[in-house]
Structure 1
């Protein structure tokens, strides 16, 4: 199978042990991203806990969590070029704000460098920043695990409410973060179409539950 030279270079950069947690950490540290390595492991652990809590496959959740930010090794100013070379669909919002396309790049690296074959895992990685509609249980778990274990300093301003709403349902917890972004959409660099769809879908779903 043909492998793009950049992906081949990534694959050849280290010897993979077959232990995904160890390999993700080693790969990111090898490429000078120790902070991302720590974040990815935390998200993987949290995704596994949430999966056990909400009846999802914990191994798949951990795998998607470990790999969700694996594309951090690609500099922001090279991400659109990489997406083009890998024949990915690039939305105008992604072209104007390349950081956000890292979720799609991470899917490619997870599949072609780390050998992940499970479509649900790859799809959860691909939408972990924005979510999408419709979204699977695994999509929501990886999305919310990333927001609980956010990669910035301090405590997320939405965290207390999010954790409280998770006691009602996973969707209620997801909605807290989606609505947090939505209420600040005028101040975001871009509003990704997948986020818009996810917001609409959640509003409709939760309204139907109340009715």
Structure 2
């Protein structure tokens, strides 16, 4: 069964016949789909994250094309209304944590992975993994995971520059892992105002020696 029949109508109405390796065409299709679904915040967020992912990838010698592809697709699962994320994931056979039932938006990364595979034909497991963990990171991230995670945090979708942006950029002078450690510590602080820590985030905290505060 083609899982795409379960998705919002604009997705089903706009088919993709291109090559996901053509990043210009991919960016255009993603933008068109987000516009059709009325996701203007995400539509503005994704190009900024992609530009940042490219910059970080070049600086840290991570494959730029893979970073850009993951960044273009990382939030696409957000086209699904939050109230429909849990039922859709259940229908797709995606395991759901209790924390994800409590905060369904935490499922958007897994839905983005499904779209990357099913709509765009992405088969690079490294790209799919970076999409999957861009919100939370995980216990054993590779450089591509770190690039996409940090690009998403440097160019967040909350309007304006994040309050920690300058400090995170300073931390990145010591490398991707130093930047990730700093970001994870911030996410473990009261300032982050997390509704609920995802199990993958808790695993990342443990792996990076971070203790939640507050």
Equivalent pair of 1:162/1:177 in contact (CA under 8 Å) = yes
Q: Which moved more, 1:9-18 or 1:126-135?
A: 9-18
Name 2:139's counterpart in structure 1.
Answer: 133
Q: 1:80 aligns with which of 83, 86, 110?
A: 86
Q: Distance in 2 between matches of 1:8 and 1:101?
A: 16
Higher mean C-alpha displacement, 33-42 vs 122-131: 33-42
**Partner Cα distance (1:200, 1:185) in 2:** 19
**Mind listing any 5+ residue stretches in structure 1 that lack a counterpart?**
205-211
Moved over 6 A (4+): none
Does the Cα contact within 8 Å between 1:7 and 1:112 map onto a contact in 2?
A: no
Is 1:96 matched up with 2:102? yes
TM superposition shift of 1:46: 1.1
Structure 2: runs of 5+ lacking an equivalent: 19-24
Query: Per-residue CA shift, 1:80-104, capped at 9, x if unaligned?
Result: 0111011001111111111111111
The equivalent of 2:32 in structure 1 is 26
Q: Who is 2:21 aligned against? A: none
**Equivalent in the alignment of 1:13:** 13
Q: Determine the C-alpha separation between the residues in 1 that align with 2:130 and 2:30.
A: 17
The within-5 A match list for 1:1-211 is 2-4=1-3, 5-7=5-7, 12-16=12-16, 18=18, 19-184=25-190, 187-203=193-209
Distance 2:64 2:38 in 1: 29
Give the alignment's Cα RMSD to 1 decimal. Answer: 1.9
* Aligned pairs, number: 203
Q: Give secondary structure in 2 for the equivalent of 1:203.
A: coil
